[in-house]
Amino acid sequence: MKAKQNINKDSKLFIAGHRGMVGSAVWRALEAKGYTNLTGRTSKELDLRDQAAVRAFMESERPEVVINAAARVGGIWANNEYPYPFLMENLQIQNNLIDAAHRNDVEKFVFLGSSCIYPKLAPQPLKEAYLLTDTLEPTNQWYAIAKIAGVKACEALRKQYGKDFVSLMPTNLYGPFDNFDLKTSHVLPAMMRKFHEAKENNNAPVELWGSGTPMREFLHVDDMARAVVFATENVLPEYLYNVGTGMDLTIKQLAETIQKIVGHTGNIVWDSTKPDGTPRKLMDVSKMNALGWKSKIPLKEGIESTYRWFLENGVKQ
């Protein structure tokens, strides 16, 4: 790894999506390390889909670092139901941020994507080299194609202009400020809410999608935030890095873990007529690990703390 980035605790850092689960975790992590010049804008204050507005913002604020944690996100149902906004809005958000950052000589750009950029049936664990080697999972291809375009835009700027733009691809994230809406959320928070509500309803049965056999990897958002800080403070030698734990489990095992933590004692019913999605998505995180970053929060401990947050803050929809 090259020398540390020429960024100090007074450098101006813009976190796009700072109110979301990932962006807020990144903000907390940077504050905890002593960064004092953080800036963010709500969607009402700055519509990241508006190219002119994003360009004007960059020209007036002149951040030294941009972290793109803003995206339209959701689970299988949301991706299937809203393919066009999942493709177009994510393209607009990231293209506007990347181009405006380039035009205004931003020193560092950290682009956040998702493990869904890799082919559906790629060998496991997923290596960065597998990008664009086969077809994508159909249910979330719209989001994946947008994120692939962002990765390639950052790579192109590195190649043509020598810019320090880097892409981090996290595995499935969870934690405080997650989306617990049953239609648009990802699997872990959706399960947490289902088990909690069933527990409150005399431990009623819980119906879950699919067979329970697919394998998934889960990373606490605070670990992801540490990876973003790591990428911000160091000049990483390559353009693309996976971020995860390097360990996975079946959806059935995940359900049983959450059920136990929540305290639900009813039955679990699997609806095999619903899609499973990709059979397995385990990240090869050896590149990030070799540079010095590793996940720290065990899954059970992370789910326990997330459930405590859920109880303290109420259901987020």
CA 200 to chain centre: 30
The DSSP H or E segment spanning 243 is strand 240-243
Q: How far apart are CA 125 and CA 247, in angstroms?
A: 9
- Whether 143 is a known active-site residue: answer yes
**Contact (CB, 8 A) for 5 and 107:** yes
- Asked whether residue 18 is marked as a ligand-binding residue, the answer is yes
Token pair listed for 115:
């493990």
264 is in an annotated binding site: no
SS3 109: strand
- Would you say 199 is a known binding-site residue? no
Is 212 labeled as ligand-binding?
no
Is 147 annotated to bind ligand? yes
**Residue among 280, 304, 308 nearest 118 (CA):** 280
Q: Is 4 annotated as a binding residue?
A: no
72 φ/ψ angles, rounded to the nearest 5 degrees: -90, 120
Q: Is 170 annotated as a binding residue?
A: yes
Q: Does 173 appear as a known binding residue?
A: yes
Q: Which two tokens stand for residue 35?
A: 């960064």
Task: Give 237-274 as a DSSP string.
Answer: SSSEEEES-S--EEHHHHHHHHHHHHT--S-EEEETTS
Most distant CA pair in the chain, distance: 61
Is 171 one of the annotated binding-site residues?
yes
Residue 17 labeled ligand binder: yes
194 labeled binding residue? yes
> Is 211 annotated as ligand-binding?
no
23 marked as binding residue: yes
Q: Which of the following is catalytic: 143, 174, 239, 241?
A: 143
169, 115 in Cβ contact below 8 A? yes
Does the annotation list 106 as a binding residue? no
113 touches 146 (CB < 8 A): no
- Tell me: is residue 22 an annotated ligand-binding position: yes
261 in Cβ contact with 307 (< 8 Å): yes
Query: Are the C-beta atoms of 143 and 116 separated by less than 8 Å?
Result: yes
- In terms of Cβ atoms closer than 10 Å to its own Cβ (0-12, 13-18, 19+), residue 3 is exposed
Contact 246, 284 (CB under 8 A): yes
279 is in an annotated binding site: no
Q: Known binding site for substrate: residues?
A: 194, 209, 216, 276
Show which residues are catalytic.
Answer: 143
User: Which positions make up the binding site?
Assistant: 17-23, 112-115, 147, 170-173, 186, 194, 209, 216, 276
Pick out the residues of the known binding site for NADP(+): 17-23, 112-115, 147, 170-173, 186
